[in-house]
Amino acid sequence: MKIALIGYGAMGKIVERLAVERGHAIVSVVDETASGVAPGDVAKMLAGSDAAIDFTVAEAVRRNVEACVIAKVPVVVGTTGWNEQRHEIKDLVTLGGGAMVFGANFSIGVNLFYRIAQYAAELFAQFPEYEAFIEEQHHSRKKDAPSGTALKIKEVISRYVNTGEIAATRAGNIPGTHRVGFDGPADQILLEHTARTRDGFALGAIMAAEWIVGKQGFFEFGDVLNKK
Ligand SMILES: NC(=O)c1ccc[n+]([C@@H]2O[C@H](COP(=O)([O-])OP(=O)(O)OC[C@H]3O[C@@H](n4cnc5c(N)ncnc54)[C@H](OP(=O)(O)O)[C@@H]3O)[C@@H](O)[C@H]2O)c1
């Protein structure tokens, strides 16, 4: 595949390395110098690519998605923090005949963790003496808090149990840790996912790009895994 990278920070560079290892070519890089550039002009920079992968900042996502729709290039969005614009961006993609996969977390382990957390919440819903809580930890460079992954965990388990505020820690170089706990009068059950490196996120984004080529619509990363 010919891949366009939108965002060339920590994640963009890992995607580049792993995509080349998988036999793909990086044909275009849209970096921070494109801040303030109109969607139509970004679209021209994407011409000739089979898919685009976006790891930028929340404020740039709408513009980047619009550019991909104009260029008719399917896009994988790994950037987090744009939940409030979700409906607007979905309309942009579906009404414009575009294709997009997004995910707060492209690690396969985390996507399985969502399902484990959901099952646990369903069980604990029958025992209200246990109170649920969510914690997350990330490196100090991460801009959004709480993480998109923690918000997704909250969305999934809130169907069954109440949770308080998500506790977010920003320190050092932590690639990403998420915990769901159920605390009762006599004991505590703690579920934890720990990312060891950020390569797993980049690989999941590349797999999503391979999957979205030739499709139309607005998808979440779970859809990619469900169809495996
Ligand atoms: N879904 C997942 O699995 C996953 C995994 C890891 C991270 N993330 C998310 O991915 C995003 C990026 O993370 P990161 O660690 O790579 O951050 P990062 O190192 O700060 O990289 C973001 C890059 O995008 C650039 N940028 C800013 N505005 C732009 C624009 N308008 N157009 C193009 N590029 C622009 C930034 O430039 P400047 O530095 O000059 O501003 C920076 O180089 C964050 O939202 C993070 O939460 C998601």
Q: Percent of the chain scored above 70 by pLDDT?
A: 99
Which are the catalytic amino acids?
138, 142
Domain ranges for the chain, please list them: 2-106+199-226, 108-194
pLDDT confidence band for 34 (50 / 70 / 90): confident
**Best of 14, 15, 41, 55 for a ligand 1 pocket test (most atoms within 8 Å of beta carbon):** 55
Give the DSSP per-residue string, 36-58.
T--HHHHHHHHTT-SEEEE-S-H
The 3-state DSSP class for residue 93 equals helix
Average pLDDT of the chain?
A: 96
Domain 2-106+199-226 shares a fold with domain 108-194: no
Distance 4 CA to ligand 1 centre (A): 15
Q: Is the pLDDT of residue 227 over 90?
A: no
Report the top-level CATH class of 2-106+199-226. alpha beta
Q: Is the pLDDT of residue 26 over 60?
A: yes
Distance 55 CA to ligand 1 centre (A): 4
Pick the CATH number of 108-194 from 3.30.365.10, 3.30.9.10, 3.30.360.10, 3.20.20.120: 3.30.360.10
Contact 27, 50 (CB under 8 A): no
Give the DSSP per-residue string, 175-203.
--EEEEEEE-SS-EEEEEEE-S-SHHHHH
Pocket of ligand 1 (CB under 6 A): 6-12, 30-32, 34-35, 55-57, 60, 78-81, 103-106, 142, 144, 198, 201
Distance 215 CA to ligand 1 centre (A): 25
pLDDT at 226: 82
Residue 58 CA, closest ligand 1 atom number: 45
pLDDT in tens, 134-186: 999 999 999 899 999 999 999 999 999 999 999 999 999 999 999 999 999 99
What is the arithmetic mean of pLDDT over 5-33? 97
